[in-house]
Chains A and B, each alone.
Chain A
């Protein structure tokens, strides 16, 4: 049973705010939600992590509703360089659970 579900692809334009939602209906009490970004021919790069409510850093915000069954990565004022694949993971413990990246969301930013 997949732990997370994301849209396969999204399109937007430069200067827009982009929101990517991830569903994790079976999230456990101790699970944290983490988002990664991957450019072609590179390894994934950590973007942001959260447990509940809202987290913001210099590149993105992460919104988590009270039931924690979904989360939304928000990218403000995107540019062409934000074209990448974005992965959502949920994880708590030290085992292999939560370490499958899935296919992610391919975000394409147009001029």
Chain B
């Protein structure tokens, strides 16, 4: 099992450009999540998908859109990148959103720089 995979690993964008970050999991998990982590900070939730076909906003959704393409895949799109979106982006999945089964598995991250 590959677990949670993310592409690309690194990306440099110019202000105003768009891009999509891809995430896939092979653990048959129901829930998937996108986080961003800025230097010296904890992870902040951007969007999550409790189950296939549903998506909801997290703490910092502005400037992002998501698509839960199927049970395996959850993509994050930046429509018009801004320097404030320079960050490391982590995708995660869990079997269930419930607290008692909420062990999250994280991908390796995508380092995004917006100039």
Contact = CB atoms under 8 A, between A and B. Distances in A.
Interface in A37-87: 41-46, 49, 51, 87
A101 to B, nearest CB: 4
A101 B106 contact: no
A58 B27 CA distance: 23
Interface size class of A (residues with CB under 8 A): 20 to 34
Contacts of B99: 30-32, 34, 90-93, 98
Interface in B51-92: 56-59, 90, 92
Contact of A102 (B31, B42, B57, B108): B42
A101 B59 CA distance: 11
A96 B92 contact: no
Interface string B32-46: 010100001111110
Nearest to B45: A99
Interface residues of B, number: 31
Contact of A100 (B31, B44, B92, B98): B44
A103 B42 CA distance: 4
A94 B59 contact: no
A111 interface: no
Given A42-B109, A101-B43, A34 B102 contact: yes
Contacts of A92: 98-99
